[in-house]
Amino acid sequence: MAKKQFKAESKRLLELMINSIYTNREIFLRELISNASDATDKLYYNALKAGQSGLSREELFIDITADREARTLTISDHGCGMSKDELEQNLGTIAKSGSLAFKKENELAEGDVDIIGQFGVGFYAAFMVAKHVTVVSRAAGSEEAWSWASDGADGYTVTAAERAEAGTTITLQLKDNTENENYDEFLQEYRLRSLIKKYSDYIRYPIKMEVSHSRMVEDSDKDADGNEKAPEYEEYTEVETLNSMVPIWKKNKKDVTEEEYNEFYKNKFGDYENPLRVVSSSVEGAATYHALLFFPARAPFNYYSRDYEKGLQLYSSGVLIMDKCADLLPDYFSFVRGLVDSPDLSLNISRELLQHDRQLKVIATSLEKKIKSELLNLLKNDREKYEQLFKAFGLQMKFGIYSTYGAAKDVLSELLLYITSAEQKLSTLDEYVDRMKEEQKYIYYACGESVAKLAVLPQNERLKEQGYEVLYLTDDIDEFTLKAMRDYKGKEFRSTSDEDLGIDTEEEKEEIKKQAEESKDLLGFLKESLGEKVTDVVLTSRLKNCPVCLTAKGGISLEMEKVLGAMPGTEEKVKAQRVLEINAAHPVFETLKALYPANEAKLKDYAEILYTQALLIEGMPVEDPVAYTSAVCNLMTL
């Protein structure tokens, strides 16, 4: 019998498909099961439309049979079947979807039935594992059955066949095993079971397969006299339903216990701890989807490494199409686990194509909003849990603001927490702003190694004394994040070592200026004697008990210098432009004035000592321990 040719473009498309579109050949089973489920849906739907009831989902099961001898895998359904014409149309023309046509004809809105197919290529995935495919089908309401058969790209035949009832049976003659490829895996019970669990668990019809078990032969553990002996076992087979059928995310939230959600999360995402929060959301509109999201309680061990892969599971009407869809989550929410199920998505094949899916972008945008509002909700209503979450993942959010050059600030800034000088516990920026003094212009921050060290940092002394609150930043990223944000709700961030803290009165400013003018030569001399080490030596009013401190001019702060210097790979280390500030109200300043110009040698030693003290206070290494020691020794020598 003459073979019919696939339409020309179909032929090319088929080759393309088999060889490249699907990256993962195991999904053929998912495709065939989805088709069987679609066909059953259609039958069900048509029956409902015709006013017939009495069909039960249980009867409409999908059957999987593996014949290990013949090396065939058979998928059989009780669905609508296909007529001869439909076989030719649907399977003879690639990218022709009978399911899409069905949806259109019936003007189906989402939710009426869960038909998955619409792309018209899924069926051909069978050729990734099969060298020969036979489809025997009998359309519902028809007496005849037809058999469609093909070896792949070079065409197909359609011949008359027999089938007892309406429905479709697809038989795959698996490809021969090669050195590198073992197709027998698709005949193994265990493998099939796990593929069905993985991809088709939520198909709404039972997927049944004959599975073998072993059991003890009755009474075989006792001999004729009733004494114990080694029991005998026998193999038996049993038809089992392998899928659970109802997706937990489609159940009404009030019908699912917290315990069930937690178990689902732990099983599915391999965590041993309950999530901090479960978010179940159903959205209709620009995008229609169900999402079930989880906020983990702890960062996975590889979270802050390259190994960590972000992403949500992606389902199309209950069928898994991608295990980790990265495009659904922005990096700063990469800690969120969970899944999204949408009937809007073209059951779409490769990652490359999916990236361009407009629908996916709409869903991602809507998810981001949802995640943010849930985080804010947690922050407001369960502070303790939120703080736990922030301790685990806050760094990622801070990094999100920095890495987007501040663009993500609208999403993230309300979610940030910092320890502050006021209470030494975590505060939001809103809480800080609420506590700001009336005349306060800036949000003050200080960076350092630890809260304990920041709490005694001299440059914060005067601010704190006057009742201004200071954010204590201890993460490397912190200052970079604040710089990227610039301000929070119109209040500019300002480092406590900034030249102008905005707290001096005009008089105070004048006073300092006057003193600096009077001691101009002294300050010049000190600067000269410190040479390259500093850009400037100035008088300050920010200090109280401490004679000196070190600050920086320009964009790079001392803390940033430390962070950047610690990063690997930077050949030329960035240097902050250091400024030695001298407390104009400190007795040491009087001493300095008295020594100038009378005792320049001593003054030089003093400059060295004061500079080194400032370094120590900042937690920076002493640059020249020998010079420092000899300066101190000079002072001790009579």
Q: Does 247 bind ligand ADP (CB under 6 A)?
A: no
Cβ of residue 143: shortest distance to ligand ADP, in angstroms?
17
CB 339 within 8 A of CB 363: no
- Per partner kind, with CB cut-offs from 5 to 8 A, the member of Mg ion, ligand ADP, none near residue 82 is ligand ADP
- Per partner kind, with CB cut-offs from 5 to 8 A, the member of ligand ADP, Mg ion, none near residue 168 is ligand ADP
Cβ of residue 250: shortest distance to ligand ADP, in angstroms?
21
Footprint on residues 24-43 left by Mg ion (CB under 5 A)? 35
Rule CB under 5 A: choose which of 79, 81, 92, 122 binds Mg ion: 122
Q: Does 99 bind ligand ADP (CB under 6 A)?
A: yes
Q: Which is nearer to ligand ADP, 96 or 361 (by Cβ)?
A: 96
Footprint on residues 104-123 left by ligand ADP (CB under 6 A)? 117-123
CB 76 within 8 A of CB 135: no
- Per partner kind, with CB cut-offs from 5 to 8 A, the member of ligand ADP, Mg ion, none near residue 36 is ligand ADP
Q: Which is nearer to Mg ion, 195 or 484 (by Cβ)?
A: 195
- Per partner kind, with CB cut-offs from 5 to 8 A, the member of ligand ADP, Mg ion, none near residue 458 is none
CA angle 527, 530, 531 (to 5 degrees): 90
Q: Does 613 bind Mg ion (CB under 5 A)?
A: no
Q: Does 318 bind ligand ADP (CB under 6 A)?
A: no
Q: Does 412 bind ligand ADP (CB under 6 A)?
A: no
Q: Does 247 bind Mg ion (CB under 5 A)?
A: no
Q: How far apart are CA 411 and CA 423, in angstroms?
A: 26
Q: Which is nearer to ligand ADP, 36 or 543 (by Cβ)?
A: 36
- Per partner kind, with CB cut-offs from 5 to 8 A, the member of Mg ion, ligand ADP, none near residue 148 is none
Per DSSP, the chain holds a count of helices (H) and strands (E) of: 21, 22
Cβ of residue 317: shortest distance to Mg ion, in angstroms?
11
Q: Which is nearer to ligand ADP, 121 or 463 (by Cβ)?
A: 121
Q: Which is nearer to Mg ion, 262 or 359 (by Cβ)?
A: 359
Look at residues 348, 358, 466, 490 and name the one whose alpha carbon lies nearest to residue 413.
490
Q: Which is nearer to ligand ADP, 320 or 631 (by Cβ)?
A: 320
Stretch that binds Mg ion, among 114-122, 170-178, 404-412, 619-627 (CB under 5 A): 114-122
Look at residues 128, 113, 129, 124 and name the one whose alpha carbon lies nearest to residue 37.
113
Look at residues 195, 210, 193, 271 and name the one whose alpha carbon lies nearest to residue 26.
195
Footprint on residues 346-405 left by ligand ADP (CB under 6 A)? 347
**The residue type at 395:** L
Cβ of residue 273: shortest distance to ligand ADP, in angstroms?
40
Q: Does 275 bind Mg ion (CB under 5 A)?
A: no
Q: How far apart are CA 112 and CA 92, in angstroms?
A: 28
Long-range contacts of 517-525 (CB under 8 A, 24+ apart): 519/593, 519/596, 521/596, 521/597, 522/592, 522/593, 522/596, 523/582, 525/596, 525/597, 525/600, 525/603
CB 199 within 8 A of CB 122: no
Cβ of residue 404: shortest distance to ligand ADP, in angstroms?
38
What is the DSSP annotation of 261-303?
HHHHHHHHH--SS--SEEEEEEE-SSS-EEEEEEE-SS--TTT
Rule CB under 5 A: choose which of 81, 92, 117, 458 binds Mg ion: 117
Q: How far apart are the first and last CA of the chain?
A: 118
CB 6 within 8 A of CB 153: yes
Length of the chain: 638
CB atoms within 10 A of CB 76: 19
CB atoms within 10 A of CB 13: 20
Beta strands in 412-531 (DSSP E): 417-420, 426-428, 442-447, 470-473, 487-488, 491-495
Q: How far apart are CA 68 and CA 73, in angstroms?
A: 8
Instruction: Reduce the secondary structure of 305-353 to three states and give it as a string.
Output: CCCCCCCEEEEECCEEEEEEEHHHCCHHHCCCEEEEECCCCCCCCCHHH
Q: Which is nearer to ligand ADP, 123 or 332 (by Cβ)?
A: 123
Q: How many residues belong to the site for ligand ADP (CB under 6 A)? A: 25
Cβ of residue 39: shortest distance to Mg ion, in angstroms?
10
Rule CB under 6 A: choose which of 13, 18, 43, 97 binds ligand ADP: 97
Residue ranges in contact with Mg ion by CB under 5 A: 35, 117, 122
Residue ranges in contact with ligand ADP by CB under 6 A: 31, 35-36, 38-39, 77, 79-82, 90-91, 97-100, 117-123, 168, 347
